[in-house]
Amino acid sequence: MRLLPLGLSIAVVISASPARSQGQDSSDLRAGAWDQSVRLEQQGKLAEARDLLRRGWGASDSYYVTLRVAWLTLQLGQAREAIALYKHAQTLPGAGPETNAGIASAWTIIGFQELEAGDRAKAREAFQQALEAEPQNAEARRGLSLSGDEMVISAELWAAFVRQSLERGGTWNAGAGFVHVPWKLDDTWQLRAAYRYFQTVQPEGSSNGRGPRAPASTFSSTHEHEIYAGGSVRNPWLGLELMGIIIDSSEVDAIAGQGARAWIGNRYGLSVEQGAFNRPLGWSHQVLPSLYVWPSDHVGLSAGVRVTSDAAGDEASGVAGVSVVAGAVQAYLQGHVGTERWPLYLSTPSVIVLDHDLEVGGRGTLMIGLSDRWSLGIQGHVEGIRARLPPGAPESTGSYLSLSLGVQYTSDSKGKEP
């Protein structure tokens, strides 16, 4: 019996309702169905390609048909259904190793879907299932590394130079050191602690806005300790963070404060930051509600209003920011227009401890990944300030500038927090 070699497949379409209707039996439905299914797939009609085989073979005991239906189901994005089909195929005569590859592919798709949804725990589980089916699956390995470790501890160390100038008030310079340790216990809980040491060097008599003036004859130095400690709880869609703050300056008694942030959403949502400080002249409060959106995996946008209320009055400031993530490089820019006082930045964390009004300003941070775990950072912050002076005193404006360099380490080889 000689079988003639053939080139590309061609077939006769048999499109019909389930077998045995309209006078057709399964033999009629199966004749030519395979080739036609391939043709439909090539035309992008995946569902039709699959349904053609299902009509012919139903709940098939054919390994080849089940394998192909599983493949088409996977291409249609129905990963879990595809896994069930691949597993069924594994029990059929003629089963081969490609079923493991199919199962791995399906689990990998699920893993990336979970990553997209922000659920790292489920993503991790899916990628691990994929690697169980096919240990060398490169995409699953990549996905698992993107999912990050369940527990991650990071540390960053910054050194800053700060300079403030006022028309009437002189100039002072400062140096600061900052260390920040976020500790992600698991996908839900995180603790954070940070410490900043701030030392000013200023001509006597000048004001750093941090306390009483000294006689203008020599340079004086003040120092300040800032301690931040807090924790957060989160899931892919909700989060809450609380933080305690102590600011201990050589010029004034220690100031206690707190910050909080709550957010809802994933790729887009609402975030509300809040801060309060028990300052010498009374409590100051601030709240910053903002909307955020990540129109792509690489760009995030936010906009909100910071409302400040303290002994000096109530102020509002429009705040906007943009984040850009491009491979090993990340950039963050945030600016405001409107008066702010003691603005709290929970992400860092930091407070601009000045008794002046910050009228307009912005800051930018650039992080450059040196390796999977190490990054180098540079940050700049500029503010236009207006000195708070007694009534009748001439206005005094100036600027606040800080420039920082830092390094960051993370135990999570690839995972990046959104």
Partner 1 sequence: MSLHIRSLLYVSTLSACLLASVGAFAQEPSVQDLYRTSYQLEASGNPRAAVEKMRLIRAKAGASYFVSARTAWLLYVAGDFEASSAAYREAATAAPQAIEPRLGLTLPLMAGQKWRDLERACRDVLRMDANHAMARARLAHALYMVGNYPDSAALYRKLVEEYPAELDHQTGLGWALTRMGRVAEAKVIFGKVLAVSPDNANAKSGMTL
# residues contacting partner 1 (CB under 8 A): 25
C-alpha R_g of the chain? 31
Q: Are 341 and 308 in contact (CB under 8 A)?
A: yes
Nearest partner of 263 among 286, 300, 290, judged by Cα? 290
Q: Name the minimum Å distance from CB 405 to partner 1.
A: 57
Stretch that binds partner 1, among 28-36, 197-205, 261-269, 320-328 (CB under 8 A): 28-36
| Residue the block writes with tokens 């930091």 | 350
Q: Name the minimum Å distance from CB 260 to partner 1.
A: 59
Q: Name the minimum Å distance from CB 45 to partner 1.
A: 18
Q: How many helices (H) and strands (E) does the chain have?
A: 8, 16
| Residue the block writes with tokens 């941070």 | 365
Around Cβ 200, how many Cβ atoms within 10 Å? 24
30 versus 184: smaller Cβ distance to partner 1: 30
Nearest partner of 233 among 246, 243, 223, judged by Cα? 243
26 versus 348: smaller Cβ distance to partner 1: 26
DSSP 3-state helix, strand, coil percentages of the chain (rounded to 5)? 25, 45, 30
76 near partner 1, judged by CB under 8 A = no
Residues 137-196 that bind partner 1 (CB under 8 A): none
2 versus 215: smaller Cβ distance to partner 1: 2
4 versus 138: smaller Cβ distance to partner 1: 4
2 near partner 1, judged by CB under 8 A = yes
| 271 vs 262: CA distance, rounded Å | 6
Which residues are paired to 183 by β-bridges? 153, 191
Q: Name the minimum Å distance from CB 94 to partner 1.
A: 6
5 near partner 1, judged by CB under 8 A = yes
Site string for partner 1, 30-69 (x = CB under 8 A): xxxxxx--x------------------x----xxxx--x-
Q: How many residues does the chain have?
A: 418
DSSP line for 203-261: ETT---SSS----TTSEEEEEEEEEEEEEEEE-SSEEEEEEEEEEEESSS--EEEEEEE
33 versus 106: smaller Cβ distance to partner 1: 33
Q: How far is CA 357 from CA 153, 314, 316, 330, in A?
A: 36, 12, 11, 30
Angle 263-189-331 (CA atoms, 0-180°, nearest 5)? 55
11 versus 307: smaller Cβ distance to partner 1: 11
296 near partner 1, judged by CB under 8 A = no
Q: Name the minimum Å distance from CB 34 to partner 1.
A: 5
86 near partner 1, judged by CB under 8 A = no
Q: Name the minimum Å distance from CB 86 to partner 1.
A: 16
94 versus 215: smaller Cβ distance to partner 1: 94
Among 9, 21, 188, 347, binds partner 1 (CB under 8 A): 9
Stretch that binds partner 1, among 15-23, 89-97, 152-160, 229-237 (CB under 8 A): 89-97
27 near partner 1, judged by CB under 8 A = yes
Q: Residue 137 — φ and ψ, nearest 5°? A: -70, 110
Residues 90-129 that bind partner 1 (CB under 8 A): 93-94, 96
Residues making contact with partner 1 (CB under 8 A): 1-3, 5-6, 9, 11-12, 27, 30-35, 38, 57, 62-65, 68, 93-94, 96
